[in-house]
Amino acid sequence: MKLQESIKRLQETIRYLSVEIGPRSYNDHEKLYQVAEYISSRFKEYGCYVNEQSFVFRGNTYRNIIGSIPGSNKEEEIVVLGAHYDTVAGSPGADDNASAVAGLLEIARFISKSRVAPAIQFVAFALEEPPAYRTKNMGSYHYAQMLKKSRQKILGMICLEMIGYFADNPRSQEFPLPFMKRKFSTKGNFIAAVGNLRSRKFTEMVKKGFKEGTDIPIFSYNALPIVIGIDFSDHWSFYKFGYRAVMITDTAFYRNPYYHTASDTYDTLDYERMAKVVHGVKAAVERLI
């Protein structure tokens, strides 16, 4: 029953973002505003304390939306769970990254029902995509920098990046390095947990918790940045400030043929398996806290 409820909520959010709103690039200011308001209202509905972090890029103001569940000790470490809500120009971004935003909101709904320690911050980031991508203009960079300046201790950051596309046919999964085809499944039916070498222990903690909450296969890989894709999302910003972070992903362009195109649409996603991923991440977060 819980899985079916999650499926329904994921569908509702992804339909709103990718169908009703559509492309949400850095130039689509009104659309980004609408999405930010939607996320904020959902966090409030789920009982989170909501605030925002504003920043300016090319003369326009963008917002990170933060839903917080405070812990019992202001000095303790926090867990950060984040996803970006913008898209590349021209793409409705159902998988990239409405799937992850929907997952973020659903996990917030679950977790906010009970007070926890350490504190958790659910963050919807603006501007992950080009032209801000992998620069100091990313919303996640501004957020991680703020945490560093305030000397906030972080247990770790979980980055949700494309969690809705699956394929069961052989050779539907590609990899950045040839040997990985012998190590991992060549069917795109799993979720990946990837990060840098410093985050290996944290990645294993997340992976172990994930397995307790779902039957979706999960593979993990920690490597140097020379492996293409290992830091291709908002977790990159946290690495820049020395924090541990892991990306949970369906592997993006290594699997999804609609990546960064107008064909990244609502009807291409697997909502049942996406809901199982959400339940897995929820279990991982609960294990951390």
Confidence of residue 74 (pLDDT cuts 50, 70, 90): low
Do 250 and 95 meet the contact criterion of CB atoms below 8 Å apart?
Answer: yes
Q: 118 falls in which pLDDT band (50, 70, 90)?
A: low
For 191-239, the pLDDT digits (tens) are 999 999 999 999 999 999 999 999 999 999 999 999 999 999 999 999 9
Q: Quick check: 240 pLDDT over 60?
A: yes
Tens digit of pLDDT for each residue in 137-166? 999 999 999 999 999 999 999 999 999 999
Residue with tokens 């290594």: 254
Which of the two residues, 117 and 37, has the higher pLDDT score?
37
What topology does CATH give the domain 2-288? Answer: Aminopeptidase (3.40.630)
Indicate the pLDDT class of residue 111, thresholds 50, 70 and 90: very high
Please state, in angstroms and rounded to a whole number, the distance separating the CA atoms of residues 252 and 150.
Answer: 33
> What confidence tier does 116 reach under pLDDT thresholds 50, 70, 90?
low
C-alpha dihedral, 4 to 80 to 239 to 278, nearest 10°:
-10
More confident residue, 1 or 23: 23
How far is the C-alpha of 104 from the C-alpha of 110, rounded, in Å? 10
Q: Where are the domains of the chain?
A: 2-288
